[in-house]
Amino acid sequence: MAPGRRMLLGSPGARSSTAARTVVAEPGRAAGRGTPAAVTSALYLPHVLARLGIRIVASLVGIAAGIVISVATLSGFSASATSVVVATLLFWVVHVVVQFLALRIFVRGPSVSLAVLLALASTIVALIIVSVAVSGVSVRGASTYLEAGVIIWICTAVADVIGTRKIRARRFG
């Protein structure tokens, strides 16, 4: 459709068979369709990648802070400096996979309390896997796993809140 040309939607040349209304096409836009998909994707992709990057960095920082705080405060938790970096990366991957699977398998309806319980459980499962897989990380005792899991979970939750605020500040500020 030519720019500035009017088309009656519902007519043979229109793309939609909805109720008749007049639409004026603007340059670079399809009548009644908004911005073309290629332009929308090109403009939207950097914002999506920025939000994804902020969420990933916030999560990694929260996990690293939780591991460092656990090492500093819990006598049954120890880790070397290099193993903290490896443990953070492995923990993030395992946590994302375990949480995704847990939410797909166990959650049928929206329940905040169940989501919180599954997040804490997936944090502890990820901690168990990391302590087995990373040689420099040592966790002794079930209570230490629980305490470290809660510490890491709280740090990750705080980091996610901060990340969400940064995303909103970029979007609206």
Global pTM reads 0.71
Residue-wise pLDDT tens digits, 102-160: 777 776 776 778 778 888 888 999 999 999 999 999 999 999 999 999 999 999 999 99
Q: Is 134 exposed, middle or buried (0-12, 13-18, 19+ CB in 10 A)?
A: buried
Task: Determine the Cα–Cα distance for residues 137 and 111; give it in Å rounded to an integer.
Answer: 34
Residue-wise pLDDT tens digits, 2-15: 554 444 444 444 44
Contact 119, 150 (CB under 8 A): no
Q: What is the mean pLDDT of the chain?
A: 80
In this predicted structure, what is the pLDDT of residue 33? 55
Task: Determine the Cα–Cα distance for residues 109 and 161; give it in Å rounded to an integer.
Answer: 23
